[in-house]
């Protein structure tokens, strides 16, 4: 995917979330946005997903400028699918229905086709035995896999993930990492926000470090973690590692 973000700003009641943030990436398959809490990661992701309107600045995704006027935003939202930390599954629907309903209602996919698509996605993510379970009958990792399958069913141009593993145990996080690797092999374009730097490193080819509303540093994951040029990023990584060791 190609992303050109220029001078993106957003404040909430005077509290600056994005401060003329710019990022220009050509041909990146999977991007992790990491950084300290309150740095602006989620706001950036929500702007990219068309869920939040910036105060100023521009975003061009795969060559197409995003028009943040409400009527035009609907078209942009259809290019994107978002997976949330809290899964946001409909509690009264089964895993299968959670996938088929949005397809039928928002994409006008015929019910039978939606069903086939949903079954094959759930099977792909190892959920064949859980098609007819409701979210409260599924584990956290299973719910997250249903949420990812639902997002994929919409065939988005780009998949956005907001802290997809923060509610999960380490071993379940490893399962979700497998899902990410599967998506990357499939050449899906992904953008992930996470404070889990280990996950980010293994889940994405590219990383952007966002702090105080700006991109402090960005680069290929295999380079920046081993030889971080940014002192702030180095401090961020070492603080997390020393905190985890205690």
Pick the closer one to ligand ADP by CB: 93 or 167. 167
Pick the closer one to ligand ADP by CB: 37 or 71. 37
Shortest Å distance, C-beta 246 to ligand ADP: 22
Q: 215 has which bridge partners? A: 210
Shortest Å distance, C-beta 15 to ligand ADP: 5
**Which residues here bind ligand ADP, judged by CB under 6 A?**
12, 15, 17, 35, 37-43
Shortest Å distance, C-beta 203 to ligand ADP: 17
Host H or E run for residue 98: helix 95-107
Question: How is residue 170 written in tokens?
Answer: 């380490």
Shortest Å distance, C-beta 192 to ligand ADP: 12
Pick the closer one to ligand ADP by CB: 52 or 157. 52
Task: Assess contact for 162 and 42: CB atoms under 8 A.
Answer: yes
Question: How is residue 203 written in tokens?
Answer: 């889940």
Burial class (CB in 10 A: 0-12, 13-18, 19+), 128: exposed
The string of DSSP codes covering 158-205 is EEEEESTTTTS-HHHHHHHHHHHHHHHHTT-EEEEE-S-HHHHHHH-S
CA distances from 144 to 3, 71, 93, 103, 207 (A): 26, 30, 15, 18, 22
Pick the closer one to ligand ADP by CB: 15 or 71. 15
Shortest Å distance, C-beta 95 to ligand ADP: 28
Pick the closer one to ligand ADP by CB: 66 or 103. 66
């Amino acid at each position: 995917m190609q992303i050109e973000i220029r001078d993106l700003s957003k404040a909430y009641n005077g509290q600056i979330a994005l401060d003329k943030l710019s990022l220009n990436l050509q041909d990146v398959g999977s991007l992790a946005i990491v950084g300290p809490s309150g740095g602006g990661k989620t706001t950036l992701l929500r702007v990219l997903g068309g869920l939040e309107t910036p105060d100023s600045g521009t975003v061009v995704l795969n060559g197409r400028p995003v028009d943040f006027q409400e009527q035009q935003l609907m078209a942009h939202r259809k290019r994107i699918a978002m997976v949330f930390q809290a899964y946001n599954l409909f509690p009264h629907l089964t895993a299968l229905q959670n996938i088929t309903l949005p397809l039928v209602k928002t994409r006008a996919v015929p019910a039978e086709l939606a069903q086939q698509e949903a079954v094959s996605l759930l099977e792909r993510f190892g959920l064949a035995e859980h098609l007819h379970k409701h979210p409260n009958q599924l584990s956290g990792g299973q719910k997250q896999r249903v949420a990812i399958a639902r997002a994929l069913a919409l065939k988005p141009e780009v998949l956005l993930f907001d802290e997809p593993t923060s509610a999960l145990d380490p071993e379940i996080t490893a399962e979700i990492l497998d899902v990410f690797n599967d998506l990357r092999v499939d050449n899906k374009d992904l953008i992930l926000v996470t404070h889990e730097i280990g996950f980010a490193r293994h889940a994405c080819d590219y990383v952007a470090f966002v702090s105080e509303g700006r991109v402090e540093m960005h680069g290929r994951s295999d380079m920046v973690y081993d030889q971080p040029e940014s002192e702030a990023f180095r401090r961020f990584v070492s603080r997390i590692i020393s905190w985890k060791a205690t």
